[in-house]
């Protein structure tokens, strides 16, 4: 009789312990949730990568290039600024600038900040940045 009582008490104790351990896991998950998120000005929201058809050069620029090329961060040529673009165009031509953008140059990573751009998308963004310069 005492053995049955001990087994019953052990089963109840283990059940309570496992429920408490499960609740502790939920508490841990709640405590380690991210406090916030990061948004880069001018960058497209994380969910915006859905296929929505062809993008214009301006759309690509606004989503991936604006952060550096609007203010000239780390020597990036400013958008539609002939003084910044002229030396690059004279040295490499438009095709050379395009190839540099695809491969990456100086502080700019390959394909710039556009993880979902094709080579043609990069060319469209460059064409937008060169409007009025050529």
16-60: per-residue pLDDT in tens?
766 555 556 777 788 788 877 777 776 666 555 555 568 899 999
Which residue in the block uniquely carries the two structure tokens 């690509």?
A: 60
- The third-level CATH classification (topology) of the domain covering 54-129 is Cytochrome Bc1 Complex; Chain D, domain 2 (1.10.760)
Query: 61: helix, coil or strand?
Result: helix
Does residue 80 or residue 6 have the better pLDDT?
A: 80
Residue range 107-123: average pLDDT? 89
Please report the pLDDT score of residue 41 as a whole number.
Answer: 74
């Amino acid at each position: 009789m005492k053995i049955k009582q001990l087994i019953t008490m052990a089963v109840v104790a283990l059940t309570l312990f496992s429920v408490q351990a499960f609740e502790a896991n939920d508490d841990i998950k709640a405590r380690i949730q991210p406090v916030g998120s990061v948004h880069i000005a001018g960058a497209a929201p994380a969910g915006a990568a859905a296929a929505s058809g062809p993008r214009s050069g301006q759309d690509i620029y606004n989503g991936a290039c604006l952060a550096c090329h609007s203010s000239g961060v780390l020597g990036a040529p400013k958008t539609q600024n002939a003084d910044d673009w002229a030396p690059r165009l004279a040295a490499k031509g438009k095709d050379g600038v395009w190839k540099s953008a695809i491969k990456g140059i100086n502080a700019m990573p390959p394909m710039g900040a556009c993880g979902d751009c094709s080579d043609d998308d990069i060319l469209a963004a460059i064409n937008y940045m060169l409007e009025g310069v050529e």
